Chain A
Amino acid sequence: MHQISASFERTLKEFLRNRSVVFWTIAWPSIWVLIYSLLFTKEVPKHAVPYVRTSITISMMTFALTIAGMANLPANIARDRESGLFAKLKSMPLTPWKDILGRLSALTVFSAIASILVAITGVLCGARFSGTCDHVIRSILFLLIALLASAGIGLILGSFIQNVQGVIMGGVGICVVMASISGIFSSYASLPPILQKLSRVYPISSANSISIYLLAGESVAGYNPLGQAASTVASSLLIFFIGLILYHRILWRGE
Protein backbone atom coordinates (compact mmCIF):
# COMPACT_ATOMS: atom_id res chain seq x y z
CA MET A 1 0.00 0.00 0.00
CA HIS A 2 2.87 2.38 0.84
CA GLN A 3 4.28 1.84 -2.62
CA ILE A 4 0.98 2.50 -4.40
CA SER A 5 0.40 5.71 -2.46
CA ALA A 6 4.04 6.79 -3.06
CA SER A 7 3.56 6.35 -6.80
CA PHE A 8 0.16 8.08 -6.61
CA GLU A 9 1.45 11.14 -4.73
CA ARG A 10 4.51 11.54 -6.91
CA THR A 11 2.53 11.34 -10.17
CA LEU A 12 -0.23 13.66 -8.97
CA LYS A 13 2.30 16.26 -7.80
CA GLU A 14 4.05 16.05 -11.15
CA PHE A 15 0.77 16.58 -13.03
CA LEU A 16 -0.27 19.53 -10.88
CA ARG A 17 3.18 21.19 -10.95
CA ASN A 18 3.65 20.90 -14.69
CA ARG A 19 2.22 24.12 -16.16
CA SER A 20 1.76 22.79 -19.68
CA VAL A 21 -0.13 19.75 -18.34
CA VAL A 22 -2.42 21.99 -16.28
CA PHE A 23 -2.97 24.34 -19.23
CA TRP A 24 -3.79 21.71 -21.86
CA THR A 25 -5.91 19.56 -19.55
CA ILE A 26 -7.80 22.16 -17.56
CA ALA A 27 -7.47 25.64 -19.05
CA TRP A 28 -7.71 24.72 -22.74
CA PRO A 29 -11.02 22.74 -22.53
CA SER A 30 -12.46 25.43 -20.23
CA ILE A 31 -11.55 28.13 -22.76
CA TRP A 32 -13.32 26.13 -25.49
CA VAL A 33 -16.41 25.78 -23.30
CA LEU A 34 -16.41 29.57 -22.99
CA ILE A 35 -15.89 30.17 -26.72
CA TYR A 36 -18.46 27.61 -27.89
CA SER A 37 -21.06 28.47 -25.27
CA LEU A 38 -20.91 32.20 -25.83
CA LEU A 39 -20.17 32.50 -29.56
CA PHE A 40 -21.57 29.44 -31.32
CA THR A 41 -25.05 29.12 -29.85
CA LYS A 42 -26.66 32.13 -31.61
CA GLU A 43 -28.33 30.01 -34.31
CA VAL A 44 -29.73 27.57 -31.74
CA PRO A 45 -33.39 27.96 -30.65
CA LYS A 46 -33.50 29.75 -27.30
CA HIS A 47 -35.05 26.87 -25.35
CA ALA A 48 -32.34 24.47 -26.57
CA VAL A 49 -29.35 26.70 -25.75
CA PRO A 50 -28.74 25.38 -22.17
CA TYR A 51 -28.77 21.77 -23.44
CA VAL A 52 -26.40 22.54 -26.30
CA ARG A 53 -24.11 24.17 -23.73
CA THR A 54 -24.42 21.02 -21.62
CA SER A 55 -23.39 18.96 -24.62
CA ILE A 56 -20.37 21.23 -25.24
CA THR A 57 -19.41 21.03 -21.56
CA ILE A 58 -19.60 17.22 -21.46
CA SER A 59 -17.62 16.97 -24.69
CA MET A 60 -14.90 19.19 -23.27
CA MET A 61 -14.88 17.17 -20.04
CA THR A 62 -14.35 14.09 -22.21
CA PHE A 63 -11.62 15.93 -24.13
CA ALA A 64 -9.89 16.88 -20.84
CA LEU A 65 -9.73 13.33 -19.63
CA THR A 66 -8.77 12.04 -23.07
CA ILE A 67 -5.79 14.43 -23.12
CA ALA A 68 -4.91 13.35 -19.58
CA GLY A 69 -4.98 9.66 -20.52
CA MET A 70 -3.47 9.86 -23.99
CA ALA A 71 -0.83 12.56 -23.50
CA ASN A 72 -0.17 13.29 -19.82
CA LEU A 73 0.09 9.68 -18.68
CA PRO A 74 2.42 8.47 -21.45
CA ALA A 75 4.49 11.66 -21.22
CA ASN A 76 4.95 11.02 -17.51
CA ILE A 77 6.02 7.44 -18.27
CA ALA A 78 8.32 8.51 -21.12
CA ARG A 79 9.96 11.14 -18.90
CA ASP A 80 10.66 8.50 -16.25
CA ARG A 81 11.99 6.17 -18.91
CA GLU A 82 14.25 8.87 -20.39
CA SER A 83 15.54 9.96 -17.00
CA GLY A 84 16.57 6.48 -15.85
CA LEU A 85 13.92 6.17 -13.14
CA PHE A 86 12.71 2.87 -14.55
CA ALA A 87 16.21 1.39 -14.16
CA LYS A 88 16.12 2.46 -10.52
CA LEU A 89 12.56 1.19 -9.97
CA LYS A 90 13.35 -2.20 -11.48
CA SER A 91 16.12 -2.69 -8.92
CA MET A 92 13.76 -1.90 -6.02
CA PRO A 93 11.27 -4.14 -4.21
CA LEU A 94 8.38 -2.75 -6.26
CA THR A 95 6.04 -4.65 -8.56
CA PRO A 96 4.92 -3.10 -11.88
CA TRP A 97 1.30 -3.43 -10.76
CA LYS A 98 1.81 -1.26 -7.70
CA ASP A 99 3.62 1.34 -9.78
CA ILE A 100 0.90 1.50 -12.45
CA LEU A 101 -1.89 1.43 -9.89
CA GLY A 102 -0.37 4.52 -8.26
CA ARG A 103 0.00 6.26 -11.63
CA LEU A 104 -3.57 5.41 -12.69
CA SER A 105 -5.01 6.57 -9.36
CA ALA A 106 -3.21 9.89 -9.83
CA LEU A 107 -4.52 10.10 -13.40
CA THR A 108 -8.08 9.50 -12.17
CA VAL A 109 -7.87 12.17 -9.46
CA PHE A 110 -6.23 14.67 -11.82
CA SER A 111 -8.85 13.98 -14.53
CA ALA A 112 -11.62 14.37 -11.96
CA ILE A 113 -10.22 17.77 -10.94
CA ALA A 114 -10.00 18.80 -14.60
CA SER A 115 -13.53 17.57 -15.40
CA ILE A 116 -15.06 19.30 -12.37
CA LEU A 117 -13.40 22.61 -13.27
CA VAL A 118 -14.57 22.30 -16.91
CA ALA A 119 -18.09 21.45 -15.64
CA ILE A 120 -18.08 24.51 -13.36
CA THR A 121 -17.05 26.67 -16.34
CA GLY A 122 -19.92 25.15 -18.33
CA VAL A 123 -22.48 25.80 -15.60
CA LEU A 124 -21.24 29.38 -15.29
CA CYS A 125 -21.76 29.74 -19.06
CA GLY A 126 -25.35 28.52 -18.77
CA ALA A 127 -25.19 24.75 -19.18
CA ARG A 128 -28.09 22.95 -17.52
CA PHE A 129 -27.85 19.28 -16.61
CA SER A 130 -31.13 17.35 -16.63
CA GLY A 131 -31.73 13.76 -15.58
CA THR A 132 -32.05 11.91 -12.32
CA CYS A 133 -29.33 11.14 -9.78
CA ASP A 134 -29.05 7.70 -11.40
CA HIS A 135 -28.38 9.39 -14.76
CA VAL A 136 -25.65 11.52 -13.22
CA ILE A 137 -23.96 8.46 -11.66
CA ARG A 138 -24.21 6.51 -14.91
CA SER A 139 -22.82 9.38 -16.96
CA ILE A 140 -19.90 9.71 -14.52
CA LEU A 141 -19.26 5.97 -14.93
CA PHE A 142 -19.20 6.36 -18.71
CA LEU A 143 -16.79 9.27 -18.42
CA LEU A 144 -14.59 6.93 -16.36
CA ILE A 145 -14.93 4.36 -19.14
CA ALA A 146 -13.69 7.01 -21.59
CA LEU A 147 -10.77 7.67 -19.23
CA LEU A 148 -10.01 3.94 -19.11
CA ALA A 149 -9.88 3.72 -22.91
CA SER A 150 -7.72 6.88 -23.08
CA ALA A 151 -5.36 5.50 -20.43
CA GLY A 152 -5.14 2.26 -22.43
CA ILE A 153 -4.15 4.17 -25.58
CA GLY A 154 -1.75 6.24 -23.44
CA LEU A 155 -0.11 3.10 -22.05
CA ILE A 156 0.27 1.67 -25.55
CA LEU A 157 1.90 4.91 -26.72
CA GLY A 158 4.08 5.13 -23.59
CA SER A 159 5.26 1.56 -24.11
CA PHE A 160 6.30 2.02 -27.73
CA ILE A 161 7.41 5.65 -28.00
CA GLN A 162 10.50 6.33 -25.95
CA ASN A 163 10.91 10.10 -26.06
CA VAL A 164 8.74 12.64 -24.29
CA GLN A 165 8.15 14.93 -27.27
CA GLY A 166 7.17 12.02 -29.50
CA VAL A 167 4.70 10.65 -27.02
CA ILE A 168 3.07 14.05 -26.42
CA MET A 169 2.74 14.72 -30.15
CA GLY A 170 1.37 11.23 -30.72
CA GLY A 171 -1.10 11.46 -27.82
CA VAL A 172 -2.36 14.94 -28.64
CA GLY A 173 -2.55 14.06 -32.34
CA ILE A 174 -4.68 10.95 -31.80
CA CYS A 175 -6.82 12.75 -29.24
CA VAL A 176 -7.57 15.78 -31.44
CA VAL A 177 -8.01 13.92 -34.72
CA MET A 178 -10.27 11.28 -33.20
CA ALA A 179 -12.29 13.91 -31.32
CA SER A 180 -12.77 15.80 -34.61
CA ILE A 181 -13.88 12.85 -36.71
CA SER A 182 -15.87 10.96 -34.11
CA GLY A 183 -18.28 13.68 -33.10
CA ILE A 184 -16.79 14.90 -29.82
CA PHE A 185 -15.99 18.33 -31.28
CA SER A 186 -19.14 18.41 -33.42
CA SER A 187 -22.70 17.13 -33.28
CA TYR A 188 -23.46 13.53 -34.24
CA ALA A 189 -26.03 14.69 -36.78
CA SER A 190 -23.48 16.77 -38.70
CA LEU A 191 -21.18 13.77 -39.28
CA PRO A 192 -21.24 11.85 -42.61
CA PRO A 193 -22.68 8.30 -42.27
CA ILE A 194 -19.28 6.59 -42.19
CA LEU A 195 -18.10 8.81 -39.34
CA GLN A 196 -21.39 8.26 -37.53
CA LYS A 197 -20.51 4.56 -37.56
CA LEU A 198 -17.04 5.41 -36.21
CA SER A 199 -18.62 7.57 -33.52
CA ARG A 200 -20.63 4.55 -32.30
CA VAL A 201 -17.60 2.19 -32.35
CA TYR A 202 -14.88 4.47 -30.93
CA PRO A 203 -15.36 3.91 -27.18
CA ILE A 204 -14.48 7.47 -26.17
CA SER A 205 -17.00 9.19 -28.47
CA SER A 206 -19.57 6.53 -27.63
CA ALA A 207 -19.11 7.09 -23.87
CA ASN A 208 -19.31 10.84 -24.53
CA SER A 209 -22.59 10.40 -26.43
CA ILE A 210 -24.02 8.22 -23.64
CA SER A 211 -23.19 10.89 -21.05
CA ILE A 212 -24.76 13.61 -23.23
CA TYR A 213 -27.84 11.41 -23.79
CA LEU A 214 -28.22 10.86 -20.05
CA LEU A 215 -27.69 14.49 -19.00
CA ALA A 216 -29.07 16.49 -21.95
CA GLY A 217 -31.46 14.16 -23.78
CA GLU A 218 -31.70 12.30 -27.11
CA SER A 219 -32.28 15.39 -29.21
CA VAL A 220 -28.90 16.85 -28.17
CA ALA A 221 -27.04 13.52 -28.40
CA GLY A 222 -28.49 13.02 -31.91
CA TYR A 223 -29.43 9.38 -31.29
CA ASN A 224 -29.97 6.87 -28.50
CA PRO A 225 -26.53 5.42 -27.78
CA LEU A 226 -27.56 3.21 -24.84
CA GLY A 227 -27.75 0.18 -27.13
CA GLN A 228 -23.97 0.32 -27.60
CA ALA A 229 -23.18 0.72 -23.87
CA ALA A 230 -22.01 -2.88 -23.42
CA SER A 231 -19.73 -2.82 -26.45
CA THR A 232 -18.34 0.56 -25.32
CA VAL A 233 -17.43 -0.89 -21.90
CA ALA A 234 -16.01 -4.06 -23.46
CA SER A 235 -13.85 -2.25 -26.04
CA SER A 236 -12.60 0.23 -23.42
CA LEU A 237 -11.60 -2.59 -21.10
CA LEU A 238 -9.92 -4.41 -23.99
CA ILE A 239 -7.85 -1.34 -24.95
CA PHE A 240 -7.00 -0.73 -21.29
CA PHE A 241 -5.82 -4.30 -20.69
CA ILE A 242 -3.77 -4.30 -23.90
CA GLY A 243 -2.13 -1.11 -22.62
CA LEU A 244 -1.47 -2.66 -19.21
CA ILE A 245 0.05 -5.80 -20.69
CA LEU A 246 2.30 -3.82 -23.03
CA TYR A 247 3.36 -1.54 -20.19
CA HIS A 248 4.32 -4.56 -18.13
CA ARG A 249 6.02 -6.46 -20.93
CA ILE A 250 7.85 -3.61 -22.62
CA LEU A 251 8.71 -1.23 -19.81
CA TRP A 252 9.20 -3.60 -16.91
CA ARG A 253 10.58 -6.69 -18.56
CA GLY A 254 14.33 -7.09 -18.02
CA GLU A 255 15.85 -6.63 -21.48
Chain B
Amino acid sequence: MYAIFTENLIKEYQNHQILKGINLKIEEGEFYALMGPNGSGKSTLASIIASVRRPTEGEVKIYGKRPELMRGIIGYLPQESFLSPLLTGMENLTYFARLMGYSRHDAKKISSELIERVGLTDHANKKVSDYSGGMKRILEIATLLFPGIKILILDEPTAGLDPSARRMFFDILKEIREEDTAVTVLMITHIGTDAEVASRVGLMDDGRIIAEGTPEELKEMCSLTEVVDIETSMKNEKILEILNKLSSNGRVLETENGYRVYCSNSEEVISEIVTALNRAGCKIVKMESKRPSLEDVFFKLTGKRLRGEQDASDIR
Protein backbone atom coordinates (compact mmCIF):
# COMPACT_ATOMS: atom_id res chain seq x y z
CA MET B 1 0.00 0.00 0.00
CA TYR B 2 1.31 3.43 -0.91
CA ALA B 3 1.71 6.10 1.74
CA ILE B 4 0.48 8.69 -0.78
CA PHE B 5 -1.47 7.71 -3.86
CA THR B 6 -3.27 9.88 -6.36
CA GLU B 7 -5.06 8.74 -9.50
CA ASN B 8 -6.05 10.96 -12.39
CA LEU B 9 -6.29 13.97 -10.10
CA ILE B 10 -7.90 16.96 -11.76
CA LYS B 11 -8.49 20.35 -10.18
CA GLU B 12 -10.43 23.08 -11.91
CA TYR B 13 -10.75 26.58 -10.60
CA GLN B 14 -12.65 29.39 -12.32
CA ASN B 15 -12.84 27.44 -15.60
CA HIS B 16 -9.11 26.85 -15.56
CA GLN B 17 -7.58 23.41 -15.14
CA ILE B 18 -4.82 23.66 -12.55
CA LEU B 19 -4.12 19.92 -12.27
CA LYS B 20 -4.51 17.84 -15.43
CA GLY B 21 -4.61 14.23 -14.27
CA ILE B 22 -1.91 13.66 -11.68
CA ASN B 23 -0.88 10.10 -10.90
CA LEU B 24 1.46 9.96 -7.96
CA LYS B 25 2.62 6.92 -6.02
CA ILE B 26 4.85 7.49 -3.02
CA GLU B 27 6.02 4.56 -0.91
CA GLU B 28 6.18 4.65 2.87
CA GLY B 29 9.48 6.13 4.05
CA GLU B 30 10.21 7.78 0.72
CA PHE B 31 11.44 11.37 0.37
CA TYR B 32 9.77 12.74 -2.73
CA ALA B 33 10.44 16.23 -4.04
CA LEU B 34 8.03 17.85 -6.44
CA MET B 35 9.72 20.53 -8.47
CA GLY B 36 8.17 23.04 -10.81
CA PRO B 37 7.86 26.74 -11.59
CA ASN B 38 5.33 29.13 -10.04
CA GLY B 39 1.82 28.34 -11.23
CA SER B 40 2.58 24.76 -12.22
CA GLY B 41 0.04 23.44 -9.70
CA LYS B 42 2.40 21.92 -7.12
CA SER B 43 0.98 23.81 -4.12
CA THR B 44 -2.56 22.95 -5.19
CA LEU B 45 -1.56 19.30 -5.37
CA ALA B 46 0.04 19.47 -1.89
CA SER B 47 -3.05 21.13 -0.41
CA ILE B 48 -5.33 18.45 -1.92
CA ILE B 49 -3.16 15.67 -0.49
CA ALA B 50 -3.24 17.47 2.89
CA SER B 51 -7.08 17.56 2.64
CA VAL B 52 -7.18 21.35 2.64
CA ARG B 53 -8.78 21.42 -0.82
CA ARG B 54 -10.91 18.98 -2.72
CA PRO B 55 -10.12 17.67 -6.19
CA THR B 56 -12.59 18.21 -9.02
CA GLU B 57 -12.02 14.65 -10.23
CA GLY B 58 -9.83 11.70 -9.35
CA GLU B 59 -8.87 10.30 -6.00
CA VAL B 60 -6.31 10.73 -3.25
CA LYS B 61 -5.48 8.04 -0.73
CA ILE B 62 -3.27 8.15 2.30
CA TYR B 63 -2.46 4.59 3.30
CA GLY B 64 -5.52 3.55 1.31
CA LYS B 65 -7.90 5.95 3.05
CA ARG B 66 -9.31 9.39 2.26
CA PRO B 67 -6.95 12.13 3.51
CA GLU B 68 -9.74 13.65 5.67
CA LEU B 69 -9.66 10.48 7.74
CA MET B 70 -5.87 10.57 8.16
CA ARG B 71 -5.40 14.11 9.47
CA GLY B 72 -3.88 12.84 12.71
CA ILE B 73 -0.81 11.51 10.87
CA ILE B 74 -0.39 14.37 8.38
CA GLY B 75 1.94 17.27 9.09
CA TYR B 76 1.28 20.02 6.56
CA LEU B 77 3.47 23.07 6.20
CA PRO B 78 1.70 25.63 3.99
CA GLN B 79 3.62 28.24 2.07
CA GLU B 80 2.21 31.13 4.12
CA SER B 81 3.21 31.80 7.72
CA PHE B 82 0.46 30.64 10.07
CA LEU B 83 1.80 31.65 13.48
CA SER B 84 0.09 34.21 15.67
CA PRO B 85 2.38 37.25 16.08
CA LEU B 86 0.67 38.14 19.37
CA LEU B 87 1.56 34.84 21.03
CA THR B 88 4.99 33.67 22.14
CA GLY B 89 6.79 30.86 20.33
CA MET B 90 5.95 28.48 23.18
CA GLU B 91 2.27 29.52 23.20
CA ASN B 92 2.01 29.01 19.45
CA LEU B 93 3.52 25.55 19.63
CA THR B 94 1.38 24.56 22.62
CA TYR B 95 -1.72 25.69 20.71
CA PHE B 96 -0.93 23.33 17.83
CA ALA B 97 -0.04 20.50 20.22
CA ARG B 98 -3.43 20.85 21.90
CA LEU B 99 -5.16 20.87 18.52
CA MET B 100 -3.45 17.50 17.94
CA GLY B 101 -5.34 16.33 21.02
CA TYR B 102 -2.73 16.59 23.78
CA SER B 103 -3.73 17.69 27.28
CA ARG B 104 -2.48 21.06 28.53
CA HIS B 105 0.29 19.39 30.56
CA ASP B 106 1.46 17.06 27.77
CA ALA B 107 1.22 19.82 25.17
CA LYS B 108 3.50 22.07 27.24
CA LYS B 109 5.97 19.24 27.82
CA ILE B 110 6.12 18.24 24.15
CA SER B 111 6.31 21.87 23.01
CA SER B 112 9.24 22.70 25.26
CA GLU B 113 11.07 19.58 24.01
CA LEU B 114 10.43 20.59 20.41
CA ILE B 115 11.46 24.20 21.01
CA GLU B 116 14.74 22.89 22.37
CA ARG B 117 15.13 20.51 19.44
CA VAL B 118 14.81 23.30 16.89
CA GLY B 119 17.16 25.56 18.87
CA LEU B 120 14.70 28.25 19.90
CA THR B 121 14.81 27.77 23.69
CA ASP B 122 16.19 31.28 24.27
CA HIS B 123 13.33 32.77 22.26
CA ALA B 124 10.54 30.51 23.55
CA ASN B 125 8.89 33.23 25.63
CA LYS B 126 9.28 36.05 23.13
CA LYS B 127 6.34 37.11 21.00
CA VAL B 128 6.53 35.74 17.46
CA SER B 129 6.26 39.33 16.15
CA ASP B 130 9.83 39.74 17.45
CA TYR B 131 11.11 36.67 15.56
CA SER B 132 13.08 36.87 12.31
CA GLY B 133 11.58 35.26 9.19
CA GLY B 134 13.91 32.27 9.54
CA MET B 135 13.01 31.74 13.20
CA LYS B 136 9.31 31.82 12.34
CA ARG B 137 9.79 29.17 9.64
CA ILE B 138 11.81 26.96 12.01
CA LEU B 139 9.04 27.26 14.63
CA GLU B 140 6.49 26.33 11.97
CA ILE B 141 8.60 23.30 11.11
CA ALA B 142 8.47 22.33 14.79
CA THR B 143 4.68 21.96 14.44
CA LEU B 144 5.39 18.98 12.17
CA LEU B 145 7.38 17.11 14.76
CA PHE B 146 4.59 16.05 17.13
CA PRO B 147 4.68 12.32 17.84
CA GLY B 148 2.45 10.28 15.55
CA ILE B 149 2.95 12.37 12.41
CA LYS B 150 3.91 9.97 9.62
CA ILE B 151 3.44 12.03 6.49
CA LEU B 152 5.09 15.40 6.01
CA ILE B 153 3.76 17.64 3.27
CA LEU B 154 6.10 20.60 2.99
CA ASP B 155 5.24 23.46 0.67
CA GLU B 156 8.38 25.47 -0.09
CA PRO B 157 9.81 24.79 3.39
CA THR B 158 13.10 26.59 2.79
CA ALA B 159 11.60 29.79 1.35
CA GLY B 160 13.03 32.75 3.24
CA LEU B 161 15.54 30.69 5.21
CA ASP B 162 19.14 31.84 5.49
CA PRO B 163 21.83 29.19 4.74
CA SER B 164 22.26 28.16 8.40
CA ALA B 165 18.50 27.82 9.00
CA ARG B 166 18.24 25.89 5.73
CA ARG B 167 20.99 23.54 6.86
CA MET B 168 19.20 23.15 10.19
CA PHE B 169 15.97 22.31 8.39
CA PHE B 170 17.59 19.52 6.39
CA ASP B 171 19.36 18.23 9.52
CA ILE B 172 16.02 18.03 11.34
CA LEU B 173 14.45 16.28 8.36
CA LYS B 174 17.32 13.78 8.28
CA GLU B 175 16.96 13.16 12.01
CA ILE B 176 13.22 12.54 11.71
CA ARG B 177 13.73 10.04 8.91
CA GLU B 178 16.53 8.28 10.76
CA GLU B 179 14.46 8.03 13.96
CA ASP B 180 11.43 6.69 12.14
CA THR B 181 12.06 5.16 8.74
CA ALA B 182 8.29 5.00 8.11
CA VAL B 183 8.02 8.80 7.86
CA THR B 184 7.18 9.81 4.29
CA VAL B 185 8.08 13.26 2.98
CA LEU B 186 6.53 15.13 0.08
CA MET B 187 8.41 18.38 -0.44
CA ILE B 188 7.31 21.07 -2.88
CA THR B 189 10.15 23.22 -4.13
CA HIS B 190 11.43 25.22 -7.03
CA ILE B 191 15.03 25.02 -5.83
CA GLY B 192 17.09 22.37 -7.55
CA THR B 193 19.62 21.94 -4.73
CA ASP B 194 16.78 21.25 -2.25
CA ALA B 195 15.30 18.61 -4.53
CA GLU B 196 18.70 16.89 -4.91
CA VAL B 197 18.37 15.73 -1.27
CA ALA B 198 15.24 13.70 -2.09
CA SER B 199 15.26 10.03 -2.99
CA ARG B 200 12.89 10.68 -5.90
CA VAL B 201 11.98 13.84 -7.77
CA GLY B 202 8.93 14.66 -9.86
CA LEU B 203 9.11 17.54 -12.31
CA MET B 204 5.85 19.35 -12.69
CA ASP B 205 4.79 21.78 -15.39
CA ASP B 206 1.42 23.18 -16.36
CA GLY B 207 -0.57 20.83 -14.11
CA ARG B 208 1.23 17.64 -15.15
CA ILE B 209 4.14 15.59 -13.87
CA ILE B 210 6.39 15.55 -16.90
CA ALA B 211 9.24 13.41 -15.55
CA GLU B 212 9.98 11.35 -12.47
CA GLY B 213 13.01 9.55 -11.10
CA THR B 214 16.05 9.86 -8.86
CA PRO B 215 18.03 13.06 -9.45
CA GLU B 216 20.67 11.07 -11.34
CA GLU B 217 18.09 9.28 -13.47
CA LEU B 218 16.54 12.57 -14.47
CA LYS B 219 19.87 13.99 -15.54
CA GLU B 220 20.65 10.87 -17.57
CA MET B 221 17.18 10.93 -19.07
CA CYS B 222 17.95 14.29 -20.70
CA SER B 223 21.51 13.27 -21.63
CA LEU B 224 22.66 16.24 -19.67
CA THR B 225 26.23 15.73 -18.58
CA GLU B 226 27.67 19.23 -18.36
CA VAL B 227 26.83 22.89 -18.48
CA VAL B 228 29.15 25.79 -19.17
CA ASP B 229 28.55 29.11 -17.45
CA ILE B 230 30.00 32.07 -19.28
CA GLU B 231 30.26 35.61 -17.96
CA THR B 232 30.70 38.02 -20.85
CA SER B 233 31.55 41.71 -21.20
CA MET B 234 28.43 42.22 -23.32
CA LYS B 235 25.21 40.45 -24.20
CA ASN B 236 23.51 40.59 -27.58
CA GLU B 237 21.67 38.60 -30.23
CA LYS B 238 24.82 37.85 -32.20
CA ILE B 239 26.53 36.20 -29.23
CA LEU B 240 23.41 34.21 -28.53
CA GLU B 241 23.38 32.94 -32.08
CA ILE B 242 27.00 31.83 -31.84
CA LEU B 243 26.41 30.00 -28.54
CA ASN B 244 23.23 28.50 -29.83
CA LYS B 245 25.10 26.76 -32.64
CA LEU B 246 27.62 25.34 -30.17
CA SER B 247 25.17 24.04 -27.56
CA SER B 248 23.62 20.59 -27.53
CA ASN B 249 20.03 20.62 -28.85
CA GLY B 250 20.41 24.37 -29.38
CA ARG B 251 19.61 25.43 -25.82
CA VAL B 252 21.23 28.42 -24.20
CA LEU B 253 19.93 30.04 -21.04
CA GLU B 254 20.49 33.74 -20.56
CA THR B 255 21.75 34.36 -17.03
CA GLU B 256 22.27 37.58 -15.08
CA ASN B 257 25.86 38.19 -16.27
CA GLY B 258 26.05 36.02 -19.33
CA TYR B 259 24.88 32.67 -20.63
CA ARG B 260 24.57 29.01 -19.68
CA VAL B 261 25.35 26.57 -22.47
CA TYR B 262 24.12 22.97 -22.28
CA CYS B 263 26.51 20.46 -23.78
CA SER B 264 27.70 16.87 -23.61
CA ASN B 265 31.45 17.49 -23.86
CA SER B 266 32.53 20.72 -22.22
CA GLU B 267 36.26 20.40 -23.06
CA GLU B 268 35.58 20.59 -26.79
CA VAL B 269 32.83 23.16 -26.48
CA ILE B 270 34.84 25.51 -24.24
CA SER B 271 37.66 25.90 -26.78
CA GLU B 272 35.12 26.42 -29.56
CA ILE B 273 33.30 29.06 -27.48
CA VAL B 274 36.55 30.93 -26.72
CA THR B 275 37.51 31.00 -30.40
CA ALA B 276 34.05 32.01 -31.60
CA LEU B 277 33.53 34.77 -29.02
CA ASN B 278 37.04 36.20 -29.56
CA ARG B 279 36.33 36.34 -33.27
CA ALA B 280 33.08 38.18 -32.52
CA GLY B 281 34.93 40.69 -30.32
CA CYS B 282 33.27 39.61 -27.09
CA LYS B 283 35.43 39.46 -23.98
CA ILE B 284 34.99 36.46 -21.72
CA VAL B 285 35.15 37.57 -18.06
CA LYS B 286 34.73 34.14 -16.54
CA MET B 287 33.91 30.67 -17.76
CA GLU B 288 33.35 27.47 -15.82
CA SER B 289 32.14 23.97 -16.46
CA LYS B 290 29.62 22.54 -13.99
CA ARG B 291 27.62 19.43 -13.35
CA PRO B 292 24.04 20.13 -14.34
CA SER B 293 21.45 20.71 -11.64
CA LEU B 294 17.82 19.63 -11.57
CA GLU B 295 16.93 23.16 -12.60
CA ASP B 296 18.97 22.55 -15.76
CA VAL B 297 17.09 19.29 -16.34
CA PHE B 298 13.82 21.18 -16.03
CA PHE B 299 15.00 23.85 -18.45
CA LYS B 300 16.17 21.21 -20.90
CA LEU B 301 12.79 19.47 -20.78
CA THR B 302 10.48 22.44 -20.86
CA GLY B 303 12.45 25.46 -21.93
CA LYS B 304 11.23 27.20 -18.76
CA ARG B 305 13.15 28.54 -15.83
CA LEU B 306 12.24 27.36 -12.34
CA ARG B 307 13.06 30.54 -10.50
CA GLY B 308 11.38 33.79 -11.43
CA GLU B 309 8.64 34.30 -13.92
CA GLN B 310 10.62 34.14 -17.16
CA ASP B 311 10.08 31.15 -19.38
CA ALA B 312 10.10 30.72 -23.09
CA SER B 313 11.64 34.14 -23.61
CA ASP B 314 14.87 32.71 -22.19
CA ILE B 315 15.16 30.08 -24.86
CA ARG B 316 17.25 31.14 -27.73
Residues in A lying within 8 Å of B, measured CB to CB: 2-3, 5-7, 9-10, 13-14, 17-18, 83-85, 87-94, 254-255
Contact = CB atoms under 8 A, between A and B. Distances in A.
B99 A92 contact: yes
B76 interface: yes
Contact of B74 (A3, A18, A83, A91): A91
* Leading 10 A-B pairs by shortest Cβ distance: A84-B80, A6-B98, A91-B76, A254-B54, A91-B50, A87-B78, A85-B82, A93-B71, A88-B82, A17-B86
A13 to B, nearest CB: 6
Contacts of B54: 254-255
B52 interface: yes
B102 interface: yes
B49 to A, nearest CB: 9
A241 B314 CA distance: 55
How many B residues touch the partner, as a band? 20 to 34
Contact of A2 (B47, B81, B103): B103
A65 to B, nearest CB: 21
Given A6-B95, A254-B52, A87 B80 contact: yes
A87 B13 contact: no
Contacts of B72: 93
Contacts of B50: 90-91
Contact of B100 (A5, A18, A92): A92
Contacts of B161: none
25 contacts: A2-B99, A2-B103, A2-B107, A3-B98, A5-B104, A6-B94, A6-B98, A9-B95, A13-B86, A14-B87, A18-B86, A83-B84, A87-B52, A87-B76, A88-B96, A90-B50, A90-B51, A91-B52, A91-B74, A91-B153, A92-B76, A92-B99, A92-B100, A93-B71, A93-B72
A14 B84 contact: yes
B88 to A, nearest CB: 9
Nearest to A4: B98
Contacts of B193: none
Nearest to B101: A2
Contacts of B83: 83
Contacts of B223: none
Contacts of B102: 2
A50 B87 CA distance: 42
Interface of B: 13, 47, 50-54, 71-72, 74, 76, 78-84, 86-87, 91, 94-96, 98-104, 107, 143, 153
A209 B148 CA distance: 54
A2 B82 contact: no
A88 B82 CA distance: 7
A83 B78 CA distance: 10
A147 to B, nearest CB: 23
A18 B101 CA distance: 27
B100 A93 contact: yes
Contacts of A93: 71-72, 99-101
B94 to A, nearest CB: 8
A92 B91 CA distance: 18
Nearest to B49: A91
Quick one: which of B80, B107, B143 has the most chain A CB within 10 A?
Answer: B80
A163 to B, nearest CB: 14
A83 B82 contact: yes
B82 A254 contact: no
Given A2-B101, A93-B71, 16 more contacts: A6-B107, A7-B99, A10-B87, A83-B80, A84-B81, A84-B82, A88-B78, A88-B82, A90-B50, A90-B51, A91-B76, A92-B71, A92-B76, A92-B96, A93-B72, A93-B101
A94 B101 CA distance: 9
Contact of B98 (A5, A13, A87, A91): A5
B102 to A, nearest CB: 7
A17 B130 CA distance: 14
A254 B99 contact: no
A2 B107 CA distance: 10
B99 A3 contact: yes
Contact of B99 (A17, A84, A94): A94
A76 B196 CA distance: 40
B90 to A, nearest CB: 12
Contacts of A5: 98, 104
A7 to B, nearest CB: 8
B204 to A, nearest CB: 20
Nearest to B94: A6
Contact of B76 (A3, A10, A17, A88): A88
Contacts of B53: 254-255
Given A6-B95, A10-B95, A254-B51, A84 B78 contact: yes
Contacts of B74: 91
B86 A84 contact: no
Given A92-B71, A254-B51, A255-B13, A87 B82 contact: yes
A13 B96 CA distance: 15
A216 B53 CA distance: 53
Most chain B CB neighbours (cut-off 10 Å) among A14, A89, A92: A92
A164 to B, nearest CB: 12
B52 A90 contact: yes
Output the residue of A7, A9, A90 with the most chain B CB within 10 A: A90
